[in-house]
Structure 1
Amino acid sequence: MKNAAYGLMQKPRQIFSLNSNNALLEFLLEGTPMVKEHLLDSRKEVDRQLKNCCEMFIKHATEILAGPIVDFIEKKVQTPTAAETKEKVLPEEIAVAVKEAQRRIKAHLAPLQRSMQLYLANKETEFILFRPIRNNVVGYFIQVEQFLTNSGYTYEDTLIVACPTPEQVSVFISSASLISYNEPVLPYGKKRKTSTARKPNVANIKESNVESASNPVP
């Protein structure tokens, strides 16, 4: 329509011409607005958004459980700088990442699964969603093990790193994911309040003991 109006302005003398070059007639024919229909499959759109959300959750959960190893693999193995390529990574540095990842799994796996129970409330869906998280964590430990083998680390270095085998990681995840269903299910990051018992006042106990000693029972 914009082009038709521009053409009408460029041909002012042909507005009232009685032939096929009539500018007003061209404007009416070419400037008619057109309606375009767009069909959207709502189910496919919902599935696409759900898939993106699940992928984001899997990535976030993997970083929560194995964040130190993920950072090590991405920085030191996949995209190392020229200086890092020449300089060998100390086994003590790798050992810190491995131990921290194991600590995170032990501390955060059960609360993470409790949150999945709370918001999904479907064991089959929980299993489907947790399986790639588990595979990612085990896969990062495998990459560390392969890095040690391919980079020429000695047997003593591997003992310092103490990277568990894939089977050991699987067993460790299984033991850390044992959830007591008797406990209340809380969102991730929230801890159950524990009742604190009041400690007796030591001064009152001493005073009562002194009084009982000074006033013996006949």
Structure 2
Amino acid sequence: MKRYFITGLLIWVPLAITAWVLVLIVGTMDQSMRLLPAAMHPRTLLGFDIPGAGAILTLLIIMITGLLAANFIGQRLVLWWEHLLARIPVVNSIYNSVKQVSDTLFSSSGNAFRKALLIEYPRRGAWTIAFLTGKPGADVLHHLDGDYVSVYVPTTPNPTSGFFLMLPRSDVIELDMSVDTALKYVISMGVVAPPPRNAAASKRTATVTPPIDPTKI
């Protein structure tokens, strides 16, 4: 009975969590329907609500915003909007901080979270997975002797919180593992391990570990 119960849990728990997350996301996005006049709501036009209508509206708004911001006039409007926000205390600090993070994470030309790494943390002999985020900058460079890289160490099972570290490049091992696979490994607390490679490939990797190319950071 215990084995059957656990087997059932393994099937239903992922489905239930997936459904709950989707309902939460769609429900949050459905709030965008408040942007429309009451006369344009599905309940007014059809007599009933349409689940997911707000999600479709949100996606359309994002796509249209990206389309408009891609041309010259849209770029000028974005610059004007950012200049306006820069004059508002507190709002300026929050907006600039969030924008810098989002530009770094979502930019197609950025290097954040582009590589999975293996580092010794929090002590020698203890290893964990980290992600390359770039190189130290500003005045920090004047206080670091040698070649350093910036890494993010996510916590388990919630990778949205973690620790920012600056480590010598020689102390960082680049993994032959995609960022998605590494994230799954972290979130599952090591339960969902990456598929093993063949012995020859593992031996070659253990013998020669390719260094991180500084030109790609």
Shorter-chain TM-score category? under 0.3
Structure possessing the higher radius of gyration over alpha carbons? 1
More helix by share: 1
Q: TM-score, normalised by structure 2?
A: 0.23
More strand by share: 2
Q: RCO higher in 1 or 2 (8 Å CA, sep ≥ 6)?
A: 1
Q: TM-score, normalised by structure 1?
A: 0.23
